[in-house]
Amino acid sequence: MASPRFVPPHPPRPSGPAPFWAGLLGERARNAVYGWSQQAFEKTHIRRQVFGWTVHIPLHPDSIQRVMLDNAANYAKPAIVKKLIAPMIGRGLLSTDGEDWRKQRKVVAATFTPPAVDALIPVFRKAAEDKARGWGDGARFDMAEEATATTMAVIADSLFGGDERLKTVAARRQIETALAAGSEIRLPALLGLPVFGWNRKIRAGQRAQRELRATLRALVQERADGKGDDFLAKILGDMDDVFGDVEARKLALDNAATFYLAGHETTANALTWALFLLSEQAELQDSLADEARAAIAASGDGPVSVERLPCLRAMLDETLRLYPSVPRFDREALGPDELDGVAVAAGDIISIWPWVLHRHARLWDDPDAFDAERFAKNGDRHRFQYIPFGAGSRTCVGARFAITEALVILAHWITEWRFLPVPGNRVWPTGSVTLRPQGGLPLRVERRA
């Protein structure tokens, strides 16, 4: 798997930090991974004042462990973040805390056990094959779009009874618009201003959110009327037992939105970045295609075993290190604490940045270079320096689902197709809620002989 050193693109790094107001302008305001100074990738803790908020960015894995595991009870999802995402995902699993969260997590957990996820491998394979059926030899596609349509089909087929309303181009656009508004809303929310109608992008995002929620509300109503036997029907029934009828309906809708969104956007971005990295490394792509072909052949007519894809798995892990689909997530301190010798007060925001942690100079050799070997070797790492799926009890409930899905889709695609760069196209990471290539990822696909 050894290949020449390859450093995929990342935004330029000024030597020192910019004043905080510079973050409110231009590319820095729009793109969460733009404008980080080289110093940030060398420090173990950053503390900033932002509009009266004290924000800590812990960059030592011990501090991440303290926030996410050892003293996790002291850290909740920030009130300001809940306010921002409430119109879209309400009080679903991702955006709630305490007893409410514990009960919901218990309800959904059964759907994400290893045997339950393995049983979905045929669904992942079908989505990959359905999508590739539309490709022509030598044609050029936006693989970000292709990946998103594929993971949308997967989430609709595996959790929502294959409902066609969740697979349309219109639904895809609504999600894009709603997410794009997310970064715009950040500023007025930080300033404590009402976010409603701040600008055209926000208004469009709010309209898209309402439309998406209306579609999902119709689905919940249908399950309540006894139509459909799927994840949504199951959580509606189980939540009814735990929370009562009225609350169960609200939470089923909030979780439908949570799982629809969190369950496909993130995996689509992981697939997109993996395809980009493969398209730039032809030799690696060919050797992984050999591994995938052998794994698929060994499984006969049955579902491919992802255990037979160790090199592809290492490549996916390296993809999520360099381009974590969720480049940041936040907590709010409920009481005082200390991180890396720095005092934390109740109300302080703890901003956890996989984007910075995964490229930190003290934690990784040659951090900006692609090297799947670091994962193939099962290297000597602190458990909390690599956290694409979060950590502790709030670890992504869909992590195994996402990894299995991405491996199965990639294995089937690279076995049949070769992915090639489009000359002259510049790939540029941009992130607000999730990290994606700006303007999509045009690639040329070539059928393998």
Strand partners, 55: 48, 349
Q: Does 402 bind ligand HEM (CB under 6 A)?
A: yes
- In terms of DSSP bridges, do strands 329-333 and 435-437 run parallel, antiparallel, or are they unpaired? unpaired
292 or 391: whose CB is closer to ligand HEM?
391
Which one of 88, 121, 270, 275 is in contact with ligand HEM (CB under 6 A)? 270
Q: Buried b / exposed e across 338-376, counting CB within 10 Å, b at 16+?
A: ebbeeebeeebbbbbbbbbbbbbeebbeebeebbbebbb
CA–CA separation, 445 vs 111, rounded Å?
34
CA–CA separation, 402 vs 238, rounded Å?
24
CA 270 to chain CA centroid, nearest Å? 7
386 or 419: whose CB is closer to ligand HEM?
386
- Beta-carbon contacts of 395 under 8 Å, excluding residues fewer than 6 positions away, are 389
**Which tokens go with 230?**
């799927």
248 or 270: whose CB is closer to ligand HEM?
270
Q: Does 267 bind ligand HEM (CB under 6 A)?
A: yes
What minimum distance in Å lies between the beta carbon of 327 and ligand HEM?
9
Quick one: which segment of 39-47, 188-196, 383-391, 437-445 binds ligand HEM (CB under 6 A)?
383-391
Q: Does 351 bind ligand HEM (CB under 6 A)?
A: no
281 or 319: whose CB is closer to ligand HEM?
319
- Beta-carbon contacts of 45 under 8 Å, excluding residues fewer than 6 positions away, are 56, 57, 58, 59, 60, 63, 339, 340, 341, 342
Which one of 209, 258, 319, 404 is in contact with ligand HEM (CB under 6 A)? 258
What minimum distance in Å lies between the beta carbon of 215 and ligand HEM?
18
Q: Does 212 bind ligand HEM (CB under 6 A)?
A: no
Which one of 323, 375, 386, 401 is in contact with ligand HEM (CB under 6 A)? 401
* Nearest in space to 403 (alpha carbons), one of 280, 274, 302, 303: 274
Quick one: which segment of 199-207, 245-253, 393-401, 441-449 binds ligand HEM (CB under 6 A)?
393-401
Q: Which residues bind ligand HEM (CB under 6 A)?
A: 93-94, 105, 258-259, 262-263, 266-267, 270, 325-326, 329, 388-390, 394, 396-398, 401-402
